[in-house]
C-alpha cells in the first residue's frame, strides 16, 4: 500500500492554470476509474472536488477538472483564485479493496 | 443536513486502547459504506479502514491490520473504530467519512475529526 505520488508543491498566479499529477500503478490508478481529488484548507476537513477521475460534485466550480492517462491522474485548476490556495490530495481504489491517498500537494497562489 | 460527528479521542499511553464513535444524521446511514481516514499533525491524509453497508465486511490499511476493528450499528446510526495496541505513530486526527460509490475514495461528507494522541 504505497502512497500515490504527488508533487509536494505547485504554484501559480491568479488567473493562470495549474495541473497536479498523481502517479500510481496498475493496481490502483491505472487499474480503476475510481480516482478522487480532495481539497483541504488549513484546520478544515477535506472537501471532495473530483470523483471517478473527472466527475465534479454539485456545487464544485467548473474551474476544477480531472483526467487520467495510464497510471497517472491529473487535477487541473483553471483561472486560479486566491481561495484555491490549499492542500490537494488524490486517492484511488486499489485491487486489494483498499483506498490509497497521495502524499498531498500544497498549492500556493502567488 | 448530513452530519458526521466523531467522539472518543484523547490521550492514551502506548499499548493502550481507545474506541472512536461517529454519529451520523441527515441521511440513510445504512445505505452507505463508511470509512475512517486519519491525518497525523502536519502530515497528509491516510486511509485507515472501511465497512460495508450491513457491517458484514471490512478492510484495513496494513499499518493497522490486526490492531484496529471497524464496526457499525445501523439502528443507532453510528460508526465505530476500536483501536488496540496503540503506538506513537497512530497519533492523528481521525475522520469519519462516507463514500459515494461502495468502497471507493469519493468521500463526499466528512466529520470534524477527533484527535488521538498516543504518548507516555
CB contact under 8 A, A46 and B113: no
B50 shares contact with chain A (CB less than 8 Å): yes
Instruction: For chain A, list residues with pLDDT below 70.
Output: none
How would residue B23 be classed by pLDDT, with cut points 50, 70 and 90? Answer: very high
Task: For chain B, give the percent of residues with pLDDT over 90.
Answer: 93
Mean residue pLDDT of chain B comes to 96
Q: Are A57 and A48 in contact (CB under 8 A)?
A: yes
Residues of B68-91 as b/e, b for ≥16 C-beta within 10 angstroms? bbbebeeeebbbbbebeebeeebb
Q: Are A43 and A18 in contact (CB under 8 A)?
A: no
pLDDT of residue A2: 84
CB contact under 8 A, A46 and B100: no
* Strand pairing category for B45-51 and B58-60: antiparallel
Q: Output phi, psi for A63, to 5 deg.
A: -75, -15
Query: Which residue reads 502567488 in cell numbers?
Result: A110
Mean pLDDT confidence for B40-56: 95
pLDDT of residue B104: 86
CB contact under 8 A, B45 and A51: no
Tell me, what DSSP letter sits at residue A4?
B
CB contact under 8 A, A34 and B104: yes
What is the distance in angstroms between the Cα of A57 and the nearest Cα belonging to chain B? Answer: 8
Q: Mutation test of the interface with chain B: which of A54, A55, A98, choosing the one with the most B Cβ atoms within 10 A?
A: A98
Q: What is the pLDDT of residues B79-118, one digit of tens each?
A: 999 999 999 999 999 999 999 888 788 999 999 999 999 9
**Could you tell me the sign of the dihedral formed by the alpha carbons of B101, B106, B108, B112, in that order?**
positive
Residues of A with CB under 8 A from a CB of B: 1, 3, 32, 34-36, 38, 40, 45-48, 51-52, 57, 87, 89, 91-93, 96-104
pLDDT of residue B63: 95
CB contact under 8 A, A98 and B47: yes
Amino acid at each position: 500500500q504505497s502512497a500515490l505520488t504527488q508533487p509536494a508543491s505547485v504554484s501559480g498566479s491568479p488567473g493562470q492554470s495549474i495541473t497536479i499529477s498523481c502517479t500510481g500503478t496498475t493496481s490502483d490508478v491505472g487499474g480503476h476509474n475510481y480516482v478522487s481529488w480532495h481539497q483541504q484548507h488549513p484546520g478544515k476537513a477535506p472537501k471532495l472536488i473530483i470523483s471517478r477521475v473527472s466527475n465534479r460534485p454539485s456545487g464544485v466550480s467548473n474551474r476544477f477538472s480531472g483526467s487520467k492517462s495510464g497510471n497517472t491522474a491529473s487535477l487541473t485548476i483553471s483561472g486560479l483564485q486566491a481561495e484555491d490556495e490549499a492542500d490537494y490530495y488524490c486517492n484511488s481504489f486499489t485491487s486489494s479493496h483498499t483506498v490509497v491517498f497521495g502524499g498531498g500537494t500544497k498549492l500556493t497562489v502567488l | 443536513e448530513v452530519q458526521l460527528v466523531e467522539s472518543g479521542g484523547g490521550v492514551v499511553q502506548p499499548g493502550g486502547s481507545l474506541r472512536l464513535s461517529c454519529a451520523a444524521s441527515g441521511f440513510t446511514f445504512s445505505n452507505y459504506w463508511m470509512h475512517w481516514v486519519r491525518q497525523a499533525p502536519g502530515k497528509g491524509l491516510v486511509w485507515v479502514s472501511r465497512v460495508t453497508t450491513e457491517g458484514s465486511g471490512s478492510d484495513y490499511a496494513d499499518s493497522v491490520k490486526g490492531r484496529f476493528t471497524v464496526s457499525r450499528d445501523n439502528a443507532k446510526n453510528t460508526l465505530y473504530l476500536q483501536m488496540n495496541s496503540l503506538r506513537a505513530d497512530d497519533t492523528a486526527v481521525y475522520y469519519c467519512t462516507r463514500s459515494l460509490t461502495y468502497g471507493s475514495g469519493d468521500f463526499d461528507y466528512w466529520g470534524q475529526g477527533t484527535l488521538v494522541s498516543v504518548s507516555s
